[in-house]
Structure 1
Amino acid sequence: MSGLVTWQTIELPNSEPCCHIQLQAPRANALEPGLLAELHRAFNALDQSDVQKALISGGRNFSTGGDVGRFAKAARDGQIESYTAQVVPVLQGLVLRMVEMPVVLASAIRGAATGGSAGLVFASDLVVSAPDAFVQPYYGVVGFAPDGGWTALLPDLIGGANASGWIMANHRKGSEQLKGLGLVQAVDPDPETRAAKLIADIDTGTALATKSLFWDDKRRAVVKTRLEAETEAFRALIGRPETLTKMKEFLQHGG
């Protein structure tokens, strides 16, 4: 473990084991190559264990998504294609793993869950948010195409019109709005404790059967194809001069 992500087995209130995966990287857990690689290592460790429940949490901000500053630097240095390859398909792989894992995954979110990091929320089986938590796409602001499942997962969760309008209008959805959409199951000042209680209270067999039936082979294959399409769309837009201009403007305004 590098310290960007930590994982350990904890005991739930009902004494069941649970893998607690914590994002604790600088710059508000921005999705850069090191953090994404560590998240895959955490999932590898979970795969190799017999633990069937996991909790994902961040710090004051769950994650602010892709590091626009690093994308902009890579563009200026002529390295945008290689940097994108270290971030976007790796994130897409994480989202797909979450859907496919025979593990009940809960996320506890505080503050921002923006850009591609929202995919970790969309792919979770259960979510508890702090009152200050919010999800916002930001794609149009910086000229990126959606990734992380905004078009691969979200339409099936809240409807195509709701998902498309949210991305295009760049709306910020707070905790109560997220709960109203069914993306969050509870709002609590201590989301980590509430999420642990929530997954402790559900029957593991029922939860895993539900997940398996919901994410059957056909639906997983569709999601995989859609995630790959997101990656290609991201690659098509990231190298545009206007995208670099938008990134510079975003960074100049404190983004």
Structure 2
Amino acid sequence: MNDSVLLEVQEGVATITLNRPQNGNAIDLPMAQALLKAAIECDQDPGIRSVVLTGSGKLFSAGGDLDAFVAAGDGIAGFLSELAGTLHLAISRLMRMDKALVVLVNGPAAGAGMSLSLVGDIVLAEAASSFTPAYGAIGLSPDGGLSWLLPRLVGLRRAQELILLNQRITAGQAHALGLITRVVEEGQLQAEGAALARSLATMNVPALGQVRKLLLEAHGTSLEAQLEQEARSISGLSTQPYVREKVAAFVAQRNHKNKKELTHG
């Protein structure tokens, strides 16, 4: 992994940091490759129980590195195919792993950076953050899953307006639209994100993975198929020692409480 993406693991929480602050964390091929490697490690390492994704410096990510686009010259079609394909593998891995993902948007997110900012289960943003599709400004169509994520988060009509007109929205507007989970006060982003990630790391990771899968697939599934998947999921999880211990402890605590109420009633 090169230093354009940093991966730090502490007490079961992995933090992935986009680390090209001098370039606005613009995504070039080495960064996309490093992000994919980090995503695979987060997915496969059993010691990692939750994941945080954020950016270094003043921007979350400016999107694709336009200098790299220019440098590709006549080979830009092949270059963008490789760049987008690598980024998409990373995004797919982050969205499909069992571990919950918290995204901390520390500044403006544009283009593929906007796409990447939306992949979390919980997305926190500083008030000074903003979100811009950006593709229309250079005559391109979205990548990074934006055309899939945005309609599911804000509805088709609003997604059409945002992307086609290349609208920039503030963190407050993003929250009002349901694009992000909430806006946090300046200077509190990392602390709030870390607390959330630590809380998620204490939960049953396989169960969180099933929740992520069920929600991710819900839009493309019929009611009956979703009900079947829910039944299979809950029954499969129920055999885990973790679940059986938690259920037994809950029942014992409830029975103890009921007994005390009857005794002192």
- Please, what is the CA RMSD of the aligned residues? 1.9
Q: Which residue of 1 aligns with 2:203?
A: 204
Q: Between Structure 1 and Structure 2, whose CA radius of gyration is higher?
A: 2
Secondary structure in 2 matching 1:29: coil
Q: Are the equivalent residues in 1 in contact too, given 2:61–2:113 (CA < 8 A)?
A: yes
150, 153, 176: which one pairs with 1:154?
150
1:174-193 residue pairs with structure 2 within 5 A?
Answer: 174-188=170-184, 189=186, 190-193=188-191
- Normalising to structure 1: TM-score of the pair? 0.77
Q: By how many angstroms is 1:165 displaced? A: 0.5
**Structure 1 letter corresponding to 2:93:** R
**Structure 1 letter corresponding to 2:52:** L
Where structure 1 has 5 or more consecutive residues not aligned to the other structure, the ranges are 12-16, 221-255
Q: By how many angstroms is 1:35 displaced? A: 0.4
Q: Which region of structure 1 is more displaced relative to structure 2, 30-39 or 186-195?
A: 186-195
Residue 212 of structure 2 corresponds to residue 216 of structure 1:
no
78, 85, 104: which one pairs with 1:82?
78
Residue 54 of structure 2 corresponds to residue 53 of structure 1:
no
Residue 4 of structure 2 corresponds to residue 4 of structure 1:
yes
183, 192, 195: which one pairs with 1:194?
192
Taking the aligned partners of 1:186 and 1:64, their CA distance within structure 2 comes to 21
Taking the aligned partners of 1:122 and 1:110, their CA distance within structure 2 comes to 13
Q: Percent identity?
A: 26
Taking the aligned partners of 2:61 and 2:83, their CA distance within structure 1 comes to 14
Q: By how many angstroms is 1:100 displaced? A: 1.1
Q: Which residue of 1 aligns with 2:17?
A: 22
**What is the number of residues matched between the two proteins?**
213
Q: Are the equivalent residues in 1 in contact too, given 2:25–2:61 (CA < 8 A)?
A: yes
Q: Are the equivalent residues in 2 in contact too, given 1:128–1:192 (CA < 8 A)?
A: no
1:142-175 alpha-carbon deviations (Å, 9 max, x no partner): 0011111121221111111111110111111111
Taking the aligned partners of 2:130 and 2:96, their CA distance within structure 1 comes to 26
1:19-67 alpha-carbon deviations (Å, 9 max, x no partner): 0111112401111100000001111211221112000110221110011
1:48-197 residue pairs with structure 2 within 5 A?
Answer: 48-50=44-46, 51-59=48-56, 60-74=58-72, 77-188=73-184, 189=186, 190-197=188-195
Taking the aligned partners of 2:99 and 2:165, their CA distance within structure 1 comes to 34
Q: By how many angstroms is 1:140 displaced? A: 1.2
Q: Are the equivalent residues in 2 in contact too, given 1:95–1:119 (CA < 8 A)?
A: no
Where structure 2 has 5 or more consecutive residues not aligned to the other structure, the ranges are 222-265
Secondary structure in 2 matching 1:127: strand
Taking the aligned partners of 1:73 and 1:199, their CA distance within structure 2 comes to 39
Q: Which residue of 1 aligns with 2:38?
A: 42
Q: Are the equivalent residues in 2 in contact too, given 1:122–1:149 (CA < 8 A)?
A: no
Taking the aligned partners of 1:152 and 1:72, their CA distance within structure 2 comes to 27
Q: Which region of structure 1 is more displaced relative to structure 2, 189-198 or 128-137?
A: 189-198
